[in-house]
């Protein structure tokens, strides 16, 4: 296995307008992945503008100066490609994977909506996509059992005013209250070349990508002053656990236990990543072995733990379990908390550590095995850490974690006094 977590070549350059261009050549197959990371997510949204970054994830497919409504998608798919976009608290990214001969098409489309969305944005388009987001909120959060858990956990973990306090879906009241000019101003502020990273991975060359980037993006003017997101690194702990119990139309009691840990990309979060894998990944994890297989109080397919990879504040570690029939929420919560607390008192064994590292290694190379997976990762590390080559340190960082470090980090960040617990109780159990 390579010592590096990224054994392919990486080239970086910056256009005069500030656009960072990352290229990683791979001639294995005649395909290229194009990934554009914008340094704007829900953490950047000012008061009264929550949900804007996510709404633009939709609006950016609705036409620009030279591309008709929905034509971006038709052109990429018609060329044999695939495309999508995602938003999280830290960023928004747009991406396509196309046959190598259509690289120029993909770059032209991305440049046109970076520099030409605002003139094409109409009130009709805005109103239509606001309705789409409302439907998404209903379908993904409000009308699904346990669907609003993330909306409830964030305010428990992060105080009002913190950049991670609200979810990317935002407030429907904020989206409804804003006029067309406000949305246009948001795009002009953040969707600028000097606030973006363009990454291309696959069957191309550095010279080809650089020339095409200059051709299509080079004339887009930079934004002189891009507002920084609020600083969220320091969070004053209350010294007391917090919790919420929700009585809802759910099939069984479910408990989420969450803690703030370390920011993604730090050595502390590398330890948290291994810790979360030991705690809650798969049938060999502590949560499964204790709650699903041992005490049999949790449903086997609905128990686990994971970290949420947020880079600009202490990132969450979330453990969750759903009760078997006849098990109440109180017993489930007590069992979940007991397993978490034992991370500081019951040392992680060599077998547990080896298993966790093997799972993480497999997941890492699964992402690195595709051009689109690599393009997204390189875009992330360039945007969040200023250098795509830092990517190569992530897997070695996980593999270097020790059982002693896990115990130390668990004692530091998983204390019961800093715990947030969200409990769902079925309506007929009241």
Residue pLDDT, tens place only, 212-264: 999 999 999 999 999 999 999 988 777 789 999 999 999 999 999 999 999 99
Q: Residue 39: what pLDDT?
A: 98
Q: Residue 2: what pLDDT?
A: 43
Partnered with residue 320 across adjacent β-strands are 256, 304
Ramachandran region of residue 191, left (φ > 0), alpha (ψ -120 to 50) or beta? beta
Q: Provide the whole-model pTM.
A: 0.95
Cβ atoms of residues 41 and 91 within 8 Å = yes
Q: Write down the residue that tokens 């396509």 correspond to.
A: 96
* Separation of alpha carbons 238 and 418, rounded Å: 7
Q: Residue 1: what pLDDT?
A: 37
**Cβ-Cβ contacts under 8 Å for 208 (sequence gap 6 or more):** 103
* Separation of alpha carbons 16 and 18, rounded Å: 5
**Full pLDDT tens readout for the chain, 430 residues:** 345 789 999 999 999 999 999 999 999 999 999 999 999 999 999 889 999 999 999 999 999 999 999 999 999 999 999 999 999 999 999 999 999 999 999 999 999 999 999 999 999 999 999 999 999 999 999 999 999 999 999 999 999 999 999 999 999 999 999 999 999 999 999 999 999 999 999 999 999 999 999 999 999 999 999 999 999 998 877 778 999 999 999 999 999 999 999 999 999 999 999 999 999 999 999 999 999 999 999 999 999 999 999 999 999 999 999 999 999 999 999 999 999 999 999 999 999 999 999 999 999 999 999 999 999 999 999 999 999 999 999 999 999 999 999 999 999 999 999 999 999 999 986 5
Q: Residue 428: what pLDDT?
A: 82
The angle, 0 to 180 degrees and rounded to 10, between the axes of the packed helices 350-368 and 371-385 is: 100
Q: Residue 4: what pLDDT?
A: 77
Return the DSSP state at 67. Answer: B
β-pairing verdict for 11-14 and 20-25: antiparallel
Ramachandran region of residue 427, left (φ > 0), alpha (ψ -120 to 50) or beta? alpha
CA-based torsion, 53, 57, 63, 69: positive or negative: negative
For residues 248, 249, 251, 253, the Cα torsion angle rounded to the nearest 10 degrees is: 0
Structure tokens at 227: 């507002």
CA distances from 17 to 20, 160, 298 (A): 9, 36, 54
Q: Write down the residue that tokens 């098409």 correspond to.
A: 105
* Among 175, 217, 232, 227, CA closest to 57: 175
Q: Residue 356: what pLDDT?
A: 98
Q: What stretches of 125-202 adopt beta strand conformation (E)?
A: 196-202
SS3 assignment, position 151? helix
**Cβ-Cβ contacts under 8 Å for 195 (sequence gap 6 or more):** 18, 38, 39, 40, 223, 226
* Among 273, 269, 270, 305, CA closest to 287: 305
Cβ atoms of residues 342 and 352 within 8 Å = no
Q: Write down the residue that tokens 């109780």 correspond to.
A: 425
Burial of 301 (0-12, 13-18, 19+ CB in 10 A): exposed
* Among 273, 259, 231, 261, CA closest to 364: 273
Q: Residue 234: what pLDDT?
A: 87
* Separation of alpha carbons 418 and 242, rounded Å: 8
Taking the CB of residue 401, how many other CB atoms lie within 10 A of it? Answer: 24
Return the DSSP state at 288. Answer: I
Q: Residue 429: what pLDDT?
A: 66
């Amino acid at each position: 296995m390579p010592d590096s977590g990224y054994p392919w070549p990486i080239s970086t350059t910056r256009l005069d307008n500030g656009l960072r261009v990352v290229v990683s050549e791979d001639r294995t197959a005649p395909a290229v992945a194009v990934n554009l990371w914008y340094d704007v997510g829900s953490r950047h949204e000012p008061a009264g503008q929550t949900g804007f970054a996510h709404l633009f994830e939709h609006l950016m497919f609705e036409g620009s100066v030279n591309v008709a409504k929905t034509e971006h998608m038709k052109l990429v798919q018609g060329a044999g490609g695939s495309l999508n976009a995602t938003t999280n608290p830290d960023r928004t990214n747009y991406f396509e994977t196309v046959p190598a001969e259509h690289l120029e098409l993909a770059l032209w489309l991305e440049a046109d909506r970076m520099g030409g969305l605002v003139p094409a944005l109409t009130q009709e388009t805005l109103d239509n996509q606001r309705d789409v987001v409302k439907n998404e909120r209903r379908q993904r959060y409000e009308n699904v059992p346990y669907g609003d858990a993330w909306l409830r956990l964030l305010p428990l973990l992060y105080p009002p005013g913190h950049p991670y306090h609200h979810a990317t879906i935002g407030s429907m009241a904020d989206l409804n209250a804003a006029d067309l000019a406000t949305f246009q101003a948001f795009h002009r502020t953040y969707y600028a070349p000097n606030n973006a990273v363009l990454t291309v991975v696959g069957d191309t060359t550095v010279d080809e990508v650089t020339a095409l980037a200059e051709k299509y993006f080079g004339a887009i003017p930079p934004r002189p002053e891009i507002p920084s997101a609020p600083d969220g690194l320091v969070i004053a702990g209350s010294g007391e656990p917090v919790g919420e119990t929700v009585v809802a139309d759910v099939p069984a009691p479910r408990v989420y236990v969450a803690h703030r840990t370390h920011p993604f990309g730090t050595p502390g979060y590398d330890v948290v990543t291994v810790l979360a894998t030991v705690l809650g990944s798969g049938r060999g994890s502590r949560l499964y072995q204790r709650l699903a297989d041992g005490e049999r109080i949790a449903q086997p397919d609905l128990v686990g733990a994971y970290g949420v990879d947020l880079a600009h504040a202490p990132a969450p570690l979330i453990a969750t379990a759903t009760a078997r029939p006849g098990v109440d929420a109180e017993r489930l919560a007590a069992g979940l908390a007991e397993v978490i607390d034992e991370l500081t008192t019951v040392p992680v064994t060599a077998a547990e550590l080896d298993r966790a590292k093997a799972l993480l290694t497999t997941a890492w190379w699964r992402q690195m095995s595709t051009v689109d997976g690599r393009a997204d990762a390189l875009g992330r590390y360039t945007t969040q850490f200023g250098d795509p080559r830092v990517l190569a340190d992530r897997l070695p960082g996980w593999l270097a974690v020790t059982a002693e470090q896990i115990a130390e980090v668990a004692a530091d960040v998983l204390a019961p006094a800093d715990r947030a617990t969200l409990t769902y109780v079925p309506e007929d159990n009241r």
